[in-house]
Amino acid sequence: MNASDTAARAAQVLSRTFSLDGLTVPNRIAMAPMTREFSPGGVPGADVADYYARRAAGGVGLIITEGTYVDHAAAGTSGAVPRFHGEDALAGWQGIVEAVHAAGGTIMPQLWHVGMARKAGAPPFPDAPPSGPSGISLDGGPAGHTMTQRDLDDVIAAFADAAATAERLGFDGVELHGAHGYLIDQFLWSGTNRRTDAYGGDLTARTRFAAEIVAACRAAVSPDFPVLFRMSQWKMGDYQARLADTPEELNALLTPLTEAGVSAFHCSTRRYWLPEYEDSDLNLAGWVKKLSGKPTVTVGSVGLDNEFIGTFKGERAGVAGIDRLLDRMERDEFDLVAIGRALLGDPEWAAKIFEGRTGELVPFDATMLRSLS
């Protein structure tokens, strides 16, 4: 297939609209959430609005924002990550929503609690201890506070309040960060959840906290307001970790979340083209869609020739083709594709793909993380 044929195929596959509850996404390209710490005091400013609006103007159908802290003292670990509470921060988010909509895109905030990934003494609330299901860090050591029932109730309420606020501000949905070893994922993973109450035990029991957050958010917003759930097998610092070793275990994880009201699952992998289980070439998003019956978003090194781990080593990522992605999307293995570093490197990545200008794509360099271009 020559370059013009590939470009026409990409435009056809990726330019289709997609309906999710009451939302119509103008195409199949989403911007993946990427923490960049450009919000002093937790307040996203006009520069952050410009950053997101440029990607929307560049053809991205759905912006999923960087993680933003819910209103709980132990939720964060940086004073420069945006928060989703307080009049000053919410005014900033209101401006971001308006800018993205004016540029033709749709947008959802990613609601976040870092749990045991919090560093003791870190801002925005230095006195708040790292908190998690069992006070166990990702490397297995005791490092913080074991959450009480009151703590759990407070966090669930914080997520629900944030979801309601997102709808009030005009966002098009919300995403709950349940991946990568942060708080919700810490409850899902046996490595960090050693509880003996109703929130611990087998995989189904370990989903209770996540399902209660989903249900609370679902109840706090309109019935047609999308609630996405981001999930992963791997954790920051443990890329071999797995929540579910078999499709049967994965189904046990997905069922309570689906029943609680998840609209779609955002399935984070390091390489989108790798099969999740033996005897099938389905990736994680493919399996989740097959088992849950819900729409899914795939992500993982799309459009680049190395995975994100290289970013932390200062490595440059060259441009790569997306034929394997198009093959999978034509089979409806998943519904949307989230682009991360490629969109940091090139705000017009989507437009260039749609228009066949692949020769103009800009490679990703780690120094771009320090720029708001």
Name the residues annotated as catalytic. 182
Could you tell me if 115 and 212 are in contact, meaning their C-beta atoms sit under 8 angstroms apart?
A: no
Which has the closest alpha carbon to 187: 258, 122, 116?
116
Q: What is the rounded CA–CA span in Å between residue 31 and residue 128?
A: 32
| CB within 8 Å of 305: residues ≥ 6 apart | 317, 318, 319, 320
SS3 category, 108: strand
| CB within 8 Å of 198: residues ≥ 6 apart | 205, 208
- DSSP codes of every residue in 346-359: -TTHHHHHHTT-GG
| CB within 8 Å of 205: residues ≥ 6 apart | 198, 199
Which whole-number Å values give the CA distances from 348 to 34, 108, 258, 358, in the listed order?
A: 17, 20, 34, 11
> b or e along 283-322 (b: 16 or more beta carbons within 10 Å of the residue's beta carbon)?
bbbbbbbbbbebbbbbbbbbbbebbbebbeeeeebebbeb
Task: Say how many Å lie between the first and final Cα of the chain, rounded.
Answer: 34
CB atoms within 10 A of CB 68: 26
Which has the closest alpha carbon to 249: 282, 210, 218, 277?
277
Which whole-number Å values give the CA distances from 117 to 55, 284, 302, in the listed order?
A: 29, 24, 27
Q: What is the rounded CA–CA span in Å between residue 129 and residue 74?
A: 6
